[in-house]
Amino acid sequence: MPGWSCLVTGAEGFLGQKIISMLVQEKGLEELRVLDKAFKPETREELSKLQTKTKVTVLQGDILDAQCLKRACQGISVVIHTAAVIDVSGVIPRQTILDVNVKGTQNLLEACVQASVPAFIFTSSIDVAGPNSYKEIILDGHEEEHHESTWPDPYPSSKKMAEKAVLAANGCTLKNGGMLHTCALRPMYIYGERSSFLYNIIIGSLKNNSILQAIGKFSIVNPVYVDNVAWAHVLAARGLRDPKKSPSIQGQFYYISDDTPHQSYDDLNSTLSKEWGLHLPTWSLPLPLLYWLAFLLETVSFLLRPVYSYRPPFNRHLVTMSNSMFTFSYKKAQRDLGYEPRVSWEEAKQKTSEWIGTVVKQYKETLSSKTQ
């Protein structure tokens, strides 16, 4: 393929960094622009050390700044949009989530039109599909089944609106007279080294006598390793640039999973961390009781809102999402994108467990230095 250039948003993020490390190995990629609102010093150092012939340009800017996005998109061939606010527990204000996830995506689509960027790949979420009830059972679901979340919570509703905007933009006329082609990827729950969610569970466990946080005992899900999700984005970028493959990809969404065994979230966390002495509690509340307790806590939060800001430790959406039988096939991505997981379950398990080991070691060393 001829020389091309790419912009990745959310470049500081867990997934964004993996996509970047794979993209710089792609043939013909002349420039890679990486955009985020803020970069940690260690991330900037890692980016500067990338062994690549590709020019890597670090851009610090806000996804809500239309002028910043327009400048970032100038001369770009492909945009990979991973930037998002992820929050399923109600910590972040609703408007903040809607602004970043919906308005930010719309801003970026408009910037692509103005800068005549022909390809746009959106990182969506399995939350767009549901589950809507813990009683709902979807095993090996696929794209033709049209599953759609009905939750009013800001994260699933914002990702659903953003994905619809991206897919609706497919076929839009660009400023130079060309055409914008889009697609969306819906990863399952993503795990792996540097997962902030997994990190918080591990640190929380270490602070509470090594008992893992139990949130998903009753679920059957198919988590996906971060490298495999990143690989699917690279393949989507190749596909939208390939005149032979592009027509079948345009305007489509894809579930992205891998060969990680179907299991509960709790079993996954336990398997990844048991080598380091972390274990799950031996009991939990029955699921219906847990759901209605969440409803009660949400009601208390709502009633107290005029006088006191109370954030429940969990809500009905989190209970449902964490305790449903909800798995999806990657066959459509395999057919259209040529997607095959690059990393096996055994390798993913080993790499993630080794990273957890370093987190445990660093925590204990920090604790030890404080007590001396």
Q: Is the CA virtual torsion 16, 19, 25, 29 positive or negative?
A: negative
Amino acid in the structure at residue 57: T
d(CA 345, CA 227): 11
In the chain, DSSP assigns E strands to: 4-9, 29-36, 55-60, 78-81, 119-123, 137-141, 181-187, 190-191, 220-221, 224-225, 252-256, 325-328
Per-residue DSSP letters for 195-210?
Answer: -HHHHHHHHHHHHTTT
**DSSP letter, residue 323:** T
The answer to whether the CB of 4 falls within 8 A of the CB of 30 is yes
* Preceding amide of 131 cis, omega within 30: yes
Catalytic residue among 18, 103, 159, 160, which?
159
Query: Rounded distance, CA 298 to CA 91, Å?
Result: 13
Residue 240 and residue 78 in contact, taking contact as beta carbons nearer than 8 Å: yes
C-alpha distances (whole Å) from 44 to each of 19, 49, 56, 174 are 15, 9, 11, 33
- Tokens standing for 70? 């327009």
Separation CA 104–CA 37 (nearest Å): 12
Question: What is the rounded CA–CA span in Å between residue 12 and residue 28?
Answer: 24
Q: Residue 257 in 3-state DSSP?
A: coil
Annotated catalytic, 364?
A: no
Q: Which amino acid is at 83?
A: A
Token pair recorded at residue 247 = 């027509």
Question: Which residues have a catalytic role annotated?
Answer: 159
